[in-house]
């Protein structure tokens, strides 16, 4: 009996202890497999505040990353310095009685977003047993917050104050959440089912939620003390993706229209046409495309003042991003314009204005890789630039119709090769 009591006391000591001892380390085998530590038990050098510098009230406490519980739903998030696309992530966590926290991934950082959760999916971390308010199933520990529910038959959650071990696998859109050695849920991101969930619940008012395929990992201080240790990540290879046509020739599936201008399909062609309001209008992809090689055919029926945006976000008829100009002769078709802040980044030489074939079909090619952008019109290079601001961005591809009225442009063969 005495020996049994001693063993139980040792187990309790291990479970309630900090992160000293054999924690926050990689084995030789893990190093060989490509695992990296996100936290070494000593420094928060791999972390900083969201949209800011430093680590605020986050600190290292007995070898753990510690949230002091002074944050809120919209403040006090820290993010990894690096960004991650496909990965296997494991971590230990514990939370105080009645506490609430979370780990988010694919978080985008921008002055447009005041908090990570409007862009990054969340693995929910919460005290299911002692939280003071009733919890919906989508709010409980192990859920893909407000999206996918954990399998309760496999869920073995340790109570507040005790350590839990979690795992997130994101492999080219295939997602798995694990808790204490059991797989709680799995799903495929960006499928019709995924979009139906996104557009029918909490995220209806967060249009950029979950669309980025790369981004920061974030920890949340939701007004509760929480501790993290043994945070390890292994990056997974990106699978080669096939080229696809963004326009199916039948309808606007895969696109979202913004504004009151006209977007429709006519005789197998995508058409934009000025409406009675004569304002700006946009047709944007549901999906984000960061690195890609895009080819688009267009014919300017009247006026032709339009454009192709990339790595952009649209809010009503306000767009944040970069435009490859499509315009009448003399107005820099193939040049690159920033829709906010700096204006023209690169205009085309005057001698290249005649490359545009007025009233005929033209082909615009746009290649974006990292911070490098190159455009071609009818096979001729129009512009090339390298820009760090573009390199940090992510977002949609969008077609524009300019304000002023009297514009009609036909589009076809919008073929994209993700890179």
What is the three-state SS of 203-218?
Answer: HHHCCCCCCCCCEEEE
Same domain, 262 and 129: no
Domain count, the chain: 2
pLDDT of residue 73: 77
CB 116 within 8 A of CB 79: yes
Mean per-residue pLDDT over the chain, rounded: 93
Give a yes or no: residue 53 inside a domain.
yes
Beta pairing partners, 90: 167, 232
19 pLDDT higher than 90: no
CB 394 within 8 A of CB 285: no
Domain final residue pick, 181, 214, 235? 235
CB 366 within 8 A of CB 244: no
Domain final residue pick, 203, 235, 267? 235
Give a yes or no: residue 17 inside a domain.
no
Separation between Cα atoms, residue 98 and residue 126, nearest integer Å: 8
Same domain, 225 and 305: no
Same domain, 83 and 195: yes
Give a yes or no: residue 383 inside a domain.
yes
Rounded to an integer, what is the distance from CA 221 to the centroid of its chain?
21
Mean pLDDT is lowest, of 16-20, 21-25, 322-326, for 16-20
pTM: 0.90
Residue range 89-106: mean pLDDT, rounded:
97
323 pLDDT higher than 60: yes
Reference 55, options 39, 75, 76; nearest CA is 76
Which residues in 169-207 are b (16+ Cβ under 10 Å) and which e? bbebeebebbbbeeebbebebeeeebbebbeeeebeeeb
13 pLDDT higher than 90: no
CB 178 within 8 A of CB 91: no
Reference 287, options 409, 181, 391, 198; nearest CA is 198
Give a yes or no: residue 142 inside a domain.
yes
Residue range 311-315: mean pLDDT, rounded:
93
Residue range 385-400: mean pLDDT, rounded:
96
Give a yes or no: residue 319 inside a domain.
yes
Give a yes or no: residue 15 inside a domain.
no
Separation between Cα atoms, residue 233 and residue 210, nearest integer Å: 20
Range of the domain at 69: 26-235
Same domain, 183 and 315: no
pLDDT of residue 316: 85
The Cα-based distances of 405 to 306, 315, 358, 399, 411 in angstroms read 11, 21, 19, 16, 18
pLDDT of residue 21: 67
pLDDT of residue 3: 46
pLDDT band at 7 (very low <50, low <70, confident <90, very high): very low
Mean pLDDT is lowest, of 8-17, 58-67, 90-99, 130-139, for 8-17
Same domain, 273 and 414: yes
pLDDT of 343-358, one tens digit each?
999 999 999 999 999 9
* CA atoms within a 13 Å half-sphere pointing along the CA-CB vector of 83: 15
Over its C-alpha atoms, the chain yields an Rg (Å, rounded) of: 25
Give a yes or no: residue 43 inside a domain.
yes
Separation between Cα atoms, residue 155 and residue 342, nearest integer Å: 51
Domain final residue pick, 218, 235, 252? 235
pLDDT of 227-274, one tens digit each?
999 999 999 999 999 999 999 999 999 999 999 999 999 999 999 999
pLDDT of residue 341: 84
Same domain, 403 and 333: yes
Please give the sequence-ordered ranges of beta strands (E in DSSP) within 286-392, or none if there are none.
Answer: 292-302, 306-315, 318-326, 336-338, 343-346, 361-369, 372-377, 380-386
């Amino acid at each position: 009996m005495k020996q049994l009591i001693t063993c139980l006391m040792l187990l309790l000591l291990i479970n309630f202890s900090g992160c000293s001892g054999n924690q926050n380390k990689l084995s030789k085998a893990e190093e060989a497999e490509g695992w990296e530590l996100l936290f070494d038990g000593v420094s928060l050098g791999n972390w900083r505040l969201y949209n800011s510098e430093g680590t605020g009230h986050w600190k290292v406490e007995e070898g753990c990353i510690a949230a002091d519980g002074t944050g809120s739903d919209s403040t006090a998030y820290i993010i990894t310095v690096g960004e991650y696309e496909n990965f296997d992530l494991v971590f230990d966590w514990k939370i105080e009685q009645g506490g609430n926290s979370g780990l988010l991934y694919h978080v985008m950082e921008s002055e447009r977003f005041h908090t990570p959760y409007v862009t990054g999916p969340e693995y929910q971390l919460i005290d299911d047993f002692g939280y003071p308010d009733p919890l919906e199933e989508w709010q409980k520990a192990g859920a893909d917050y407000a999206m996918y529910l954990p399998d309760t038959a496999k869920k073995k959650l340790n109570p507040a104050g005790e350590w839990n071990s979690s795992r997130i696998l994101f492999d080219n859109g295939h997602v798995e959440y694990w808790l204490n050695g059991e797989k709680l849920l799995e799903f495929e991101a960006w499928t019709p089912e995924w979009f139906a969930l996104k557009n029918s619940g909490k995220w209806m008012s967060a249009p950029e939620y979950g669309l980025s395929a790369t981004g920061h990992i974030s920890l949340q201080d939701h007004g509760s003390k929480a501790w993290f240790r043994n945070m390890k990540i292994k990056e997974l290879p990106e699978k080669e993706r096939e080229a696809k046509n963004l326009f199916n020739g039948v309808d606007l599936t895969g696109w979202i229209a913004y504004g009151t201008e006209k977007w429709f399909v006519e005789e197998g062609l995508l058409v934009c046409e000025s409406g009675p309001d004569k304002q700006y209008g946009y047709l944007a992809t549901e999906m984000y495309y960061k690195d890609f090689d895009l080819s688009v055919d267009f014919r300017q029926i009247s006026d032709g003042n339009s454009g192709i945006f990339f790595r952009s976000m649209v809010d009503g008829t306000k767009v944040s991003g970069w435009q490859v100009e499509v315009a009448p002769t003399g107005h820099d078709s193939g040049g690159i314009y920033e829709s906010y802040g700096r204006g023209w980044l690169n205009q085309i030489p005057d001698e290249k204005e005649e490359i545009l074939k007025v009233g005929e079909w033209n082909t615009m090619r746009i290649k974006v890789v990292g911070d490098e952008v190159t455009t071609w019109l009818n096979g001729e290079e129009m512009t090339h630039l390298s820009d760090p601001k573009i390199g940090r961005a992510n977002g949609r591809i969008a077609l524009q119709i300019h304000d002023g009225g009297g514009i009609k442009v036909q589009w076809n063969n919008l073929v994209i090769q993700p890179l």
